[in-house]
Structure 1
Amino acid sequence: MSGIHDAPNGEAVPAVEDKLHFRASSTDVSKTYGLDGVDDTDATDDIYSRANAPRPGFTKSDQKDMYRMGKLQEFRRNYRPLSALSFAIVLTCVWEYLLLANTQGLIDGGLAGLFWSYIWTFVGFGFVVLSLAEMSSMAPTTGGQYHWVSEFAPPKYQKFLSYVTGWMSTLSWQAGNASGSFLTGTIIQSLLVINYDWYDPKAYQGTLFVFAMVLVLFVVNIWGASWWPMIQNGLMVLHILGFLVVLIVLWVCAPHQSAKAVFTGFTNEGGWSTMGLSVMVGQITAIYALLGSDATAHIAEEVRDAGRYVPISIFWSYFGNGIMAIILLVTYLFSIASVDDALNDPSGYPFIYVLSTSVSKAGVNGITSMILILVVAANISWNASTARQTFAFARDNGLPFSKWIGHMHPTKDIPANAIFLSCMITALLSLINLGSDVAFNAIISLQVCALMMTYSVSVGCVLYRRIAHPELIPTARWSLGNWGVPVNVIGLVYSLFTFFWSFWPNTVPVTLETFNWSVVLFVGVLVLSLVMYVFQGRHVYNGPVTDVKAPRL
């Protein structure tokens, strides 16, 4: 076989003499090598032995997947199975996010509301994650949801649905990218509050701290991209050790509530007409903490043997982190001596109040700094996934200035322009903080509603294909089997349920300052995507399915 040979472990090893740097659809590749009319199966290895040579690390399964999807290997596959799992575990950081960002859950629902909303969110969202994991095995591509919609939607609607899903996916990941930096930036500001009595925090100062966090993301993802996969396993160890440290400190040192208060003590500080409505609004805390397990799908083209290990990393990062978070959450709720005092703490973060009732100021600084390091690491990985999703959509001509956004750096093999754009969008979204005290809630609500829309459409499309044309479902090495239909149905229902609640404000009555601005941003981007589709998208965007080397209707 020309230009490739098998390693002892069965992986495809590229020949060094083949130095081809270009991108094309599968049809273009066939024309380039004079393979028109040649059977796809016979041509696969020959095409990819040459076209993928500059990008080491792929296996034969990766070759076949990329060829079937009509994509060339542009990234280096630097993530081994364990580092891919570590990447997903550290990026999702469920117990950290649940500990840091639980204000809304405590306002709307209290101790019991936060606990029970997390439990049903963990179960319900699990069906969505299972569906996403299977689709990532069917089509392991950086594009994720918009690609899956393009493959599985009814042919009449695939182009339009894929285009809108791509815009919403880009919006959701960009909002998530901003929320992480906002969180770390304002926590630094809170540490100043508890350490210096003279410090009077201002909104613009918090925004400046967010800018500093954005600079860290940019520097690491541009100049540290080659070594970042190598430290993921170490970060996962730190993630587990940090969990144990916080758990033991709260078990041993914190004052403890009664079990009755934790599991049955619902409160309604948001002013809603009923307790049930309050808890529904407060579930955004649990939803936000559990988002992001599909991040590995957006680095699929950098994972070795992606069709197998990307879904594994999605599955185990969700359920492993989710169970750890249950243990941490119960411990944390037992340690909140007063919900009112926690919500009114000068730092602005209830967890800092809990730590201050448990350990000295030095202990608060040490534990918070450790958690901060973990969340900054998660933000770096989140920025990497965000940039790659944005790059992939631009690669398929889905965004304005697609040629620039979809440019691959010629020596670093990273989407440098997409990384820069993602950092700039985070900086712009952080400006909401200057005009609203609930900017963080608006950003996470924007992330949730946009992401749930993409989940609803992609799961709905694979459900349609599974029922209407099961013979056209791609082979998945990680498959739901006969459970596919019920899992997809429950996942679809849960996604729509969460989408509905993501737009609600934190408290009533609603004022200009407490209004949930996510609905404005969401509708604005949705309208923009529709306008772009009418004037540009329908002329230049065909959807990834047009490149797929597989039978389709």
Structure 2
Amino acid sequence: MGKFKKDSQTGLRPGTYTDTLNSSETTGRNSDEHKIAQYGKRQQFKRNFGLLSVVSLASTITVLFNGGPTGIITTFPIIFLGVLFQTLVLSELASMIPLSGGQYNWVAILAPPKLSHFLSYLTGWITTITWQSAVPAVTYMCSNMIVALVDFHYPNQTLKNWHATLIFFAVTFVAVFINTYLGRVFPTIECFSFLLHVFGFFVVLIVMVYLAPKAPPSSVFENYINGGGFSSTAVSVFVGTIPIMFGFVGFDSAAHIAEEIGNATLVIPRAMLMTVVLYFVMSYGIVIAMVFCMPVEEVLTSTYTFPIIGVFATVTQSTAGTVIMTSLIIVMLGCGAIGDMAAASRTLWAFAREDGVPFSSRISKIDPRTCLPLYSIGVTATISIALSLIALGSTATFNALSGLAVAGSYSSFIMAASVTLWRRLTTSSEKMPWGPFRLGKLGVPITVFALLYSWVGLIFSFWPPVAHVSIKTFNWSLVVYLGVMILAIVWWCVRAKKTYTGPKMEISSHQWMELFGEMK
């Protein structure tokens, strides 16, 4: 049997063929299995995720120094609008092609034939490093906030960076345990974590609003701060948006567990949109409360690693109250690390399934007993631990990881959205395999706006937090990003150029033709 080529009329490419299924295996397939079979994939995961559990997973994955209160309160809605447009574009793609690989699958199927293999390959690496950097970034925040809370509660006992690293190991172990041994109840755990997020939101909001002294509106709406010493306040504000953009990274996590979701073509778009809207509503509510209630100068000069602990201490005037509120945030960060590991491991597994990374044959294995990608979960955990050993609590490392996550997320979106825009402009709408979620005539302007926003975000994701850069303040995300791209290109030249052909067909060619011959 050979390879499927792009359709001569539509130019769409279902995949390359590897005969691993018997024709009898398609009998009784539900619509989800039928849809992924359209792109040559067979069902390997159990579909345990419904709408609530998917929204829960994505919602739990979730800037005063540059910008100040005014910068935060004005840029947050702009970032939300840009991310919302990104979400609309990706939701349409996920509804059309519900495969766990996400962006690299979409690029492979929609890109120009001569470029599809290489562009898909690069997109796969970019998407993979996005999630592989997001896991240690969130785990870093969780472990270091635990250290900061211990320092607050026991001021006479100062913990070292290596203590944070050991706690990092513990958080990673918990994330691995829940993603493997508790895999069957993982969706239920994510639903619980979502409810905890909602509860934590109201607790923090109510405490801040009712107990904290209120700042005058002028100090909120007329208080730009250029703490980084940049040549203009505008540049400072843009640099200050990196943490906000990082907060939204992960909104597409639902797309990376597509093959574990029932009714995926509808659930994924709804989950992604609900995730972004819920995150904005809750986060912006907290942001407004914070900028009106916290003493800005005290926060900027605070000795706390996480100034929010000092804010809670000032507002509550209680050690116990500060510990409880901070602990809520720690638990929510831990839930985020668990969800990130799930999405990151599935993304790595999906790319390894197409021979996109070294040791693909091993990483792409699915455990027959649990129906989980145990090897990719283990590799994801190993990468996180390796990065933590390099970091040993360095703040510069978190800046690099968060910047890398933003850069990877935005550049992979640019790749997917660009080929989608090209396809919209060159292919008749009737020939596109649309899913139930469509943007219709608004697709082109929405995609163009999302691309413009993404380019701006990508550029500033590499900027350091201060104008006068040192080793500690340098944003190493650009170095890591370029290093990974060089490694990817080297691997392409050495091996992947011969083995990587985009999404592989895992069903027989005869079966595919019987099901989807009308697309030819």
Same fold by TM-score greater than 0.5:
yes
Q: Deviations over 1:360-388 (max 9, x none)?
A: 11001001111211221121111011000
Gaps of 5+ in 2: 1-14
* CA distance in structure 2 between the partners assigned to 1:332 and 1:473 by the alignment: 47
8 Å CA contact retained: 2:117, 2:502: yes
1:545 deviation in Å? 7.2
* CA distance in structure 1 between the partners assigned to 2:334 and 2:81 by the alignment: 27
1:121 and 2:121 aligned: no
1:493 and 2:484 aligned: no
Query: 1:148 corresponds to which residue?
Result: 106
Query: 1:541 corresponds to which residue?
Result: 500
> What SS does structure 2 have at the residue aligned with 1:269?
coil
- More deviation, 462-471/442-451: 462-471
1:230 deviation in Å? 2.1
Query: 1:49 corresponds to which residue?
Result: 27
1:300-315 pair list within 5 angstroms? 300-315=258-273
Q: Deviations over 1:78-113 (max 9, x none)?
A: 012232222222334xxxxxxxxxxxx211111111
8 Å CA contact retained: 1:151, 1:545: no
1:234 deviation in Å? 2.7
* CA distance in structure 1 between the partners assigned to 2:18 and 2:232 by the alignment: 59
Query: 2:155 corresponds to which residue?
Result: 197
Among 402, 406, 411, the alignment partner of 1:444 is 402
1:233 deviation in Å? 2.7
Against the structure 1 CA distance between its residues 120 and 330, is the aligned structure 2 distance closer, same or farther, given a 3 Å change threshold? same
* CA distance in structure 2 between the partners assigned to 1:138 and 1:265 by the alignment: 45
> What SS does structure 1 have at the residue aligned with 2:76?
helix
* CA distance in structure 2 between the partners assigned to 1:524 and 1:234 by the alignment: 39
Q: Counterpart amino acid of 1:532?
A: W
> What SS does structure 2 have at the residue aligned with 1:512?
coil
- What count of residue pairs does the alignment treat as equivalent? 496
Query: 2:305 corresponds to which residue?
Result: 348
Query: 2:439 corresponds to which residue?
Result: 480
8 Å CA contact retained: 1:136, 1:310: yes
1:426 deviation in Å? 0.9
Query: 1:28 corresponds to which residue?
Result: 19
1:288 deviation in Å? 0.9
Q: Counterpart amino acid of 2:139?
A: S
* CA distance in structure 2 between the partners assigned to 1:529 and 1:419 by the alignment: 21
Among 303, 315, 323, the alignment partner of 1:358 is 315
8 Å CA contact retained: 1:172, 1:446: yes
* CA distance in structure 1 between the partners assigned to 2:504 and 2:498 by the alignment: 16
* CA distance in structure 2 between the partners assigned to 1:152 and 1:545 by the alignment: 15
1:390-539 pair list within 5 angstroms? 390-434=348-392, 436-471=394-429, 472-539=431-498
Query: 1:181 corresponds to which residue?
Result: 139
1:47 deviation in Å? 4.3
Q: Counterpart amino acid of 2:27?
A: S
Q: Counterpart amino acid of 1:498?
A: G
* CA distance in structure 1 between the partners assigned to 2:385 and 2:75 by the alignment: 31
1:120 deviation in Å? 1.0
Q: Counterpart amino acid of 1:170?
A: T
* CA distance in structure 1 between the partners assigned to 2:160 and 2:244 by the alignment: 28
Q: Counterpart amino acid of 1:508?
A: A
* CA distance in structure 2 between the partners assigned to 1:529 and 1:196 by the alignment: 46
Q: Counterpart amino acid of 1:354?
A: V
> What SS does structure 1 have at the residue aligned with 2:225?
strand
1:187 deviation in Å? 0.3
Q: Counterpart amino acid of 2:158?
A: D
8 Å CA contact retained: 1:150, 1:545: no
Q: Deviations over 1:274-328 (max 9, x none)?
A: 1111111111021011111100000111110101111110011111221221111
1:327 and 2:305 aligned: no
Q: Counterpart amino acid of 1:90?
A: T
> What SS does structure 1 have at the residue aligned with 2:64?
helix
Q: Counterpart amino acid of 2:418?
A: G
8 Å CA contact retained: 2:164, 2:393: no
Q: Counterpart amino acid of 1:423?
A: A
Q: Counterpart amino acid of 2:89?
A: S
8 Å CA contact retained: 1:149, 1:158: yes
Q: Counterpart amino acid of 1:494?
A: Y
Query: 1:43 corresponds to which residue?
Result: none
Q: Counterpart amino acid of 2:154?
A: Y
Structure 1 stretches of 4+ moved >6 Å: 545-548, 550-553
Q: Deviations over 1:119-163 (max 9, x none)?
A: 211111211111011111001111001001101111110000000
Against the structure 1 CA distance between its residues 268 and 327, is the aligned structure 2 distance closer, same or farther, given a 3 Å change threshold? same
1:281 and 2:239 aligned: yes
1:432 deviation in Å? 4.1
* CA distance in structure 1 between the partners assigned to 2:56 and 2:475 by the alignment: 34
Give me the TM-score of the superposition, normalised by structure 1: 0.86
* CA distance in structure 2 between the partners assigned to 1:476 and 1:289 by the alignment: 28
* CA distance in structure 1 between the partners assigned to 2:396 and 2:377 by the alignment: 27
Query: 1:131 corresponds to which residue?
Result: 89
8 Å CA contact retained: 1:191, 1:347: no
Query: 1:227 corresponds to which residue?
Result: 185
* CA distance in structure 1 between the partners assigned to 2:467 and 2:183 by the alignment: 45
> What SS does structure 2 have at the residue aligned with 1:492?
helix
8 Å CA contact retained: 1:149, 1:461: yes
8 Å CA contact retained: 2:120, 2:502: yes
Against the structure 1 CA distance between its residues 371 and 436, is the aligned structure 2 distance closer, same or farther, given a 3 Å change threshold? closer
8 Å CA contact retained: 2:16, 2:504: no
* CA distance in structure 1 between the partners assigned to 2:495 and 2:468 by the alignment: 41
Against the structure 1 CA distance between its residues 67 and 435, is the aligned structure 2 distance closer, same or farther, given a 3 Å change threshold? closer
1:68 and 2:68 aligned: no
Q: Counterpart amino acid of 2:60?
A: V
* CA distance in structure 2 between the partners assigned to 1:67 and 1:320 by the alignment: 33
- More deviation, 470-479/63-72: 470-479
Against the structure 1 CA distance between its residues 431 and 484, is the aligned structure 2 distance closer, same or farther, given a 3 Å change threshold? same
* CA distance in structure 2 between the partners assigned to 1:552 and 1:190 by the alignment: 58
* CA distance in structure 2 between the partners assigned to 1:539 and 1:552 by the alignment: 28
> What SS does structure 1 have at the residue aligned with 2:152?
helix
Q: Deviations over 1:4-59 (max 9, x none)?
A: xxxxxxxxxxxxxxxxxxxx9766257x43xxxxxxxxxxxx64227x7xxxxxxx
* CA distance in structure 2 between the partners assigned to 1:515 and 1:269 by the alignment: 15
Give me the TM-score of the superposition, normalised by structure 2: 0.92
Name the % identity: 33
* CA distance in structure 1 between the partners assigned to 2:293 and 2:287 by the alignment: 10
Against the structure 1 CA distance between its residues 144 and 476, is the aligned structure 2 distance closer, same or farther, given a 3 Å change threshold? same
Q: Deviations over 1:255-274 (max 9, x none)?
A: 22111111220011111111
Q: Counterpart amino acid of 1:72?
A: R
